[in-house]
Structure 1
């Protein structure tokens, strides 16, 4: 069975954070791998995408983008063929029947909704996109469609946790250079390194942008191999490839 985690903050808005449970992929991709960019068999990936779609909203159309760790946002008004996906890392829509799907394997998936305005969004926030402002741009794109950031509710799904995300001091310095207060997202680690709480950083960016309700699921992708795919875990294990899970939202 496909596991869809839900965020109470999003209420009745159709959404779900899928992990790797369920699906037809095998080997290192075993489970619900939806990554078209993975080395998995394409037929298996397409089948998994259909299964994920139907677990959320049967008969709807799943829309994804070619994610490139950017702050770029696409406004979706119609289905996008898998082979014609634009390069971007977030989407917004006010059209019913379109499922916005964000793929991750440690990065932060963020789902957005202004139920009153009938506008939803989804963002992929790796560290580059996060510091580059992908969540800020998603909020702005939703406002163009009539959303009000004072009403927008957000949910942060499964991603790599602080205990699993070791980075160098030079990495942390990039965030300190942006804002000295970003030091609070880094804790002491082994010599020359520290631990980064990327989910908390993303939550702070959302709060700073005026989002009043932010729910964090607090699920670490790295430490739960039976439930989630993890790029970093696959690298540490010396595996040749890794799967991607999907976070979805729709009107």
Structure 2
């Protein structure tokens, strides 16, 4: 099975793709295109999957990824990082052609950003902790320091866990409601009185709009519900599986 990137119309002029699990060489619970260096998958398979991902989106570029820690930290990239010296951060930006920015997810929200006119791109991993702490705001600010303008930045939100699949407790709900009462609109009632269904995709989209972005595309793809296409941390957890794969979202400037 070939690797088939999912593309966003807002980023149509740039080499990019949201990749799922299809087309890779991993087997077992990691079956498919698992690119997670932090997984317990076979190391050779992970590196081959990463090579396949690069070839599918931007052949000849150098893949750059992070050691993601659910933070609001964004770093500026000028050259590839050694695999064992990846920064602990959750977003990266660059104005350098030849670098392929990569964000890994398995239910969290991947966001790709581009100001094509300025030649500045960014990519962010927005789990709920990073999202509420402002990882997307940090990405936009880092892009502006390289000459981007938020009035021109386009953003695409890739596959992530959907509200129907994302049950949270009262404490989680209160954390968002206390930050801003308007955040209550991103929660629906759960099956039980003390449970809620959280729409993290809509929350991230709203944060982008509040930051001044005018072109925002959300793909509306549920990683939890679509086992054939995507890895899911929550699905693996609910099944009691000992590990899970990670998919990758990629973006590069033209050379």
Structure 1 residue aligned with 2:45:
44
Alpha-carbon offset, residue 11 of structure 1: 2.0
Q: Distance in 2 between matches of 1:70 and 1:217?
A: 23
1:204 to 206, 209, 215: 206
Alpha-carbon offset, residue 168 of structure 1: 0.4
Structure 2 residue aligned with 1:119:
120
Matches within 5 A, 1:82-93: 82-93=83-94
Q: Distance in 2 between matches of 1:82 and 1:31?
A: 22
Structure 1 residue aligned with 2:218:
216
Structure 2 residue aligned with 1:77:
78
Q: Distance in 2 between matches of 1:57 and 1:4?
A: 11
Alpha-carbon offset, residue 238 of structure 1: 1.0
Q: Distance in 2 between matches of 1:45 and 1:117?
A: 34
Moved over 2 A (4+): none
Structure 2 residue aligned with 1:141:
142
Alpha-carbon offset, residue 82 of structure 1: 1.3
CA deviation string 1:122-180 (max 9, x = no partner): 00000000000000000000000000000000000000000000000110100000000
Q: Distance in 1 between matches of 2:61 and 2:180?
A: 42
The yes-or-no answer on 1:33 pairing with 2:34 is: yes
Q: Distance in 2 between matches of 1:173 and 1:159?
A: 22
2:240 to 224, 229, 238: 238
Any stretches of 5+ residues in structure 2 without a counterpart? none
The yes-or-no answer on 1:187 pairing with 2:188 is: yes
Any stretches of 5+ residues in structure 1 without a counterpart? none
- TM-score between both structures, scaled by the size of structure 2: 0.98
Matches within 5 A, 1:157-172: 157-172=158-173
Q: Distance in 2 between matches of 1:132 and 1:229?
A: 25
Aligned-residue CA RMSD (Å): 0.5
CA deviation string 1:35-85 (max 9, x = no partner): 000000111101100110111111110000000000001100011121110
Determine helix, strand or coil for the equivalent of 1:5.
coil
Determine helix, strand or coil for the equivalent of 2:48.
helix
Determine helix, strand or coil for the equivalent of 2:164.
helix
Q: Distance in 2 between matches of 1:198 and 1:108?
A: 8
Q: Distance in 2 between matches of 1:57 and 1:189?
A: 42
User: In the comparison of the two structures, how many residue pairs are matched?
Assistant: 251
